[in-house]
Structure 1
Amino acid sequence: MFSTNQVQNEHLLFSNSVSESPRRRPLRLQYTTICAPMVRYSKLPFRMLVRKYGCDLAFTPMIVSNSFVHSAKARDNEFTTCLGDRPLIVQFAANNATDLADAAELVAPYTDGVDLNCGCPQRWALAEHYGAYLINNAELVKDMVLQTRNRISDQKFLISIKIRIHYDIRKTVDLCQKAQQAGVSFITIHGRTLEQRKEPVNVQAIKTVKDSLNIPVFGNGDVFSLEDADKLYEQTGVNGVMSARGLLQNPALFVGYHYTPRDCVQDWLDISLNLGTHFTSFHHHLMYMLEKVMPRPERRVFNTLSSTAAVLDYLRVNYDLC
């Protein structure tokens, strides 16, 4: 157990993180800040939250294009947006040009572009020839981009790919140059190979690809603070920096906070309740946001709460949030 004094002292961490003034990005660091596509997490409520805290561009979670095209239920479940949810890129898993182009046509009136996932390392994705399977099929990726570009008449509509790197960076450069030839708008590079998980991001590989292309390149991986984002930009010269886990833990990182500020937590409560967010998503986001704020004994209690009412009551009593 823990004492009342301990709790009060730990709560000061939350108070200090709230009063900490966000650091503005220096004017010389002009890059796009991006919320990554995250399964279960980068849905509409979270996208609306990070847009309030310096995030320029947001991606949906990965959507399987075939089921999206053929099932109205899948479309209703997987894709939700609103007027303030822009600019927005819808990410699809696809293994052929027809599915990607068909899916792109369906979302084109409501979004700014689509992204082909060429980086998912999960076994099911590889078995279905989705995700990172595609980085070894440069001609197929080129054809998918080309046919989707030919299908969408609006030239302002963006078509991008998000990739992992090869051990042989020449293969990555070849893949990206073929995609560029096909008309891809930009490329996002996660600086790890298919097999890597927690190894440091290969910054030099990202820079090599960036230097080989004439289109915008975004960098992804190990961005947990604004300082991390600035460093990746400075080391690689990318046009944009994408964060995934870092934004989950701190949706305000792109405006310079080192911990999730109180106002950001309150905004999450307001946004998610207004949009009718499912409890599991509502709760899990809070678990991530408060991970560095709550002392461990409190997290054990908070993480076991089983209803929206219980969560709201806990935050009201312990943190004066409502």
Structure 2
Amino acid sequence: MDFWNNTLGGPTKIVAPMVDASELPWRLLSRKYGAELCYTPMLHSAMFVKDAKYRKEALATCEEDKPLIIQFCGNDPKIMLEAALLAEDHCCAIDINLGCPQAIAKRGHYGAYLQDEWDLVSNIVSTLSKSCKVPITCKIRRFESVEKTIEYATLLEKSGCKVLTLHGRTREQKGPLTGLADWLYVKEVKKAVKIPVISNGNIQTMQDITNCMETTNCQGVMTAEGNLYNPYLFESTWPPCWEPALEYLDLVVKYPCPLSYIRGHLFKLFHHLLNLPENAKTRISLGAAKSVEQFFNISKELRDKYIDYHNGVKLWDETNEPGTFNLILPPWLCQSYIRMPPDEHVKLVEEKVKEAQCAEKKRKYLDCEGNMISRKMMKKLRRIQRRPEKEAPSVCKKGLEKCGSCFNPQGGKCNYKLCKKCCKDKCFLENLDCPGHRILVKTRREMAQFYQVERANTNKSVIK
């Protein structure tokens, strides 16, 4: 508790370590609007030890960027210790990532995919704790049972962990299956250990922070996604999205960072605006931007487009949720991103799978009259639909217009809108050419000879 209160200052509003997102400019912006403790992005310990350039970029900080905790991932105690010793002079503590659930952590065998190897985890924490001059902290995810989660937290405390961050979701709760974090696990772990506990998960507004601390009795609350969509969250305000965007870009000019980081932040800040059909081109421009100047121009373009609505000069009609009287925030204000509940997502995926299976079984299509259309003809019709400048023919039977003389489909390039057989007859009788069916003078001569032979054979049979 001395470390928590004296060194860190007893923070309650904490910005999580986020890969490619919690870099120096973003940390400074978050601190300006209420964040009391920040983490670096997750750093790979082996790369940190071997690559001097990677190490220099990762350790970018300044006097205003305090208190700061550096987070490492890895599975080798010796390499992680070497990385921690290189970083300890630049931070207040070293955090061990034991909670990352992403596929990259599974491939690299670190993060939440170490939580079943308790001997290895204990070895890592104790090795760093005994050899580093700064405290060692850990960030974990819960298990399915409260008892196992408490046992795991107790193991980390005994191994030398000085502050524990518990994410109230399991390793499997990620992406569209994220769902809600369970604060009950945080509450029970807080009762079982003596070290400070930080709660992570379900933090989208200032009211969530208050509710979480009252429910769990934890020392602090950590947010990741909530901070990315609204860096003013800790001040309980919802600014127009261009304000934090332009402030962040000003900091980027002073403290440069990779363009991919900038693009990711702007996509989240402008998320609700860019989802509007009218801003489709702007979304493409943001994805293709290759300089800070272009990012500035895009931010100012969106500001100029919606600032009159924000100031009340123009009226924004879409203020109610469709079919209800619930008021909704206009899309230019920073606000949380709300995912579809996991059960609804699973149901939607199952419906799509069934539809795909049915389509695969049928593999046949019907025209407007209920006649079967082959797959080949269906592809041709789809090609026609993708060319709106060309008028699509009315379909029947095989999907083409009827021949003018019979029920067969007409040739696509026929001058007389006939099938090949009828076109040959017409060209022979009327002495015409049809380049579409390649019926020319030479062809007509061959046809004349054919008809002469046919008539001769007919006359012979009649005589007999």
Please report the TM-score for the alignment, with normalisation by the length of structure 1.
Answer: 0.83
1:264 deviates by 2.8
For the 8 Å contact 2:18–2:40, the answer to whether it is kept is yes
Aligned-pair CA distance for 1:126: 2.4
Q: Counterpart of 1:314?
A: 298
SS at match of 2:115: helix
Gaps of 5+ in 1: 1-29
TM-score (norm 2): 0.59
How far residue 226 of structure 1 moved from its aligned partner, in angstroms, is 1.0
User: Which of 106, 115, 135 lines up with 1:135 in the alignment?
Assistant: 115
SS at match of 1:162: strand
Q: Which residue number in structure 2 is paired with residue 190 of structure 1?
A: 167
Superposed CA offset, 1:256-303 (max 9, x none): 113456543332121112222333322321221132466724543332
**Higher relative contact order structure (alpha carbons within 8 Å, sequence separation ≥ 6):** 1
Matches within 5 A, 1:203-214: 203-214=183-194
Give the AA of the match of 2:109: H
Deviation of the 1:206 alpha carbon: 1.2
Q: Which position in structure 2 is the counterpart of 1:15? A: none
SS in 1 for 2:119: helix
Query: For 1:14-63, what per-residue CA distance to the aligned partner results, in whole angstroms no more than 9, with x for missing partners?
Result: xxxxxxxxxxxxxxxx8611111111111111111101110011111111
Mark the CA change 1:203 to 1:271 in structure 2 (over 3 Å): closer, same or farther.
same
**Contact 1:190–1:221 at 8 Å: present in 2 too?**
yes
Per-residue deviation, residues 230-249 of structure 1 (Å, max 9, x unmatched): 21111111111111111110
Match of 1:283 in 2: 263
User: What is the distance in 2 between the residues matched to 1:31 and 1:74?
Assistant: 29
Residue 268 (str. 1) matches residue 248 (str. 2): yes
What is the CA-CA distance between 1:129 and the residue it aligns to? 2.5
Establish whether residue 160 from structure 1 lines up as the match of residue 140 from structure 2: no
Counterpart residue type for residue 145 of structure 1: V
In the other structure, the counterpart of 1:116 is: 96
Contact 1:225 1:258 in 2 (8 A): no
Report how far residue 183 of structure 1 moved: 2.1
The DSSP-based 3-state class of the residue aligned with 1:84 is coil
Matches of 2:82 and 2:251, distance apart in 1: 32
| Match 1:45 to one of 25, 41, 45 | 25
Letter matched to residue 188 of structure 2: T
Which of 50, 63, 76 does residue 56 from structure 2 map onto? 76
Note the aligned Cα RMSD (angstroms).
2.1
Contact 1:37 1:244 in 2 (8 A): yes
> Are the equivalent residues in 2 in contact too, given 1:38–1:244 (CA < 8 A)?
yes
SS of the residue 1:242 aligns to: strand
What residue number does 1:18 align with?
Answer: none
Cα distance in 2 for residues equivalent to 1:77 and 1:277? 8
Which secondary structure does the structure 2 equivalent of 1:265 belong to?
Answer: helix
Residue of structure 2 equivalent to 1:302: 282
What percentage of residue pairs aligned between the two structures are identical?
Answer: 33
CA distance in 2, matches of 1:292, 1:258: 13
CA contact under 8 A between 1:89 and 1:111: conserved in structure 2? Answer: yes
- Which residue of structure 1 lines up, in the alignment, with residue 215 of structure 2? 235
List per-residue Cα deviations over 1:169-224 (Å, max 9, x = no partner). Answer: 22221111111112211010111111112121111111111111111000111211
State how far apart, in whole Å, the 2-side matches of 1:127 and 1:314 are. Answer: 37
Deviations 1:45-86 (A, max 9, x none): 111110111001111111111221122233134332222211
Distance in 1 between residues matched to 2:49 and 2:190, nearest whole Å: 33
1:318 shift after superposition: 4.5
Give the direction of change, closer, same or farther, for the CA distance of 1:298–1:288 in structure 2 (3 Å limit): farther
Which residue identity is paired with 1:216? P
**2:224 alignment partner AA:** A
- Asked whether the equivalents of residues 38 and 61 of structure 1 are also in contact (C-alpha less than 8 Å), the reply is yes
Report the secondary structure of 1:200's partner residue.
coil
Query: What amino acid is aligned across from residue 295 of structure 2 in structure 1?
Result: V
Q: Is the 8 A contact 1:31 1:233 kept in 2?
A: no
Query: For structure 2, which runs of at least 5 residues remain unmatched after alignment?
Result: 1-9, 306-464
Structure 1 range deviating more: 161-170 or 263-272: 263-272
User: Shift of residue 97 of structure 1?
Assistant: 1.8
| Cα pair 1:138 1:174 within 8 Å, conserved | no
Contact 1:91/1:114 (8 A) holds in 2: yes
CA–CA separation in structure 1 for the residues paired with 2:254 and 2:282: 22
| Matched letter for residue 281 of structure 1 | Y
Distance in 1 of aligned mates of 2:81 and 2:92: 15
- Give, in whole Å, the separation in 2 of the partners of 1:295 and 1:134: 38
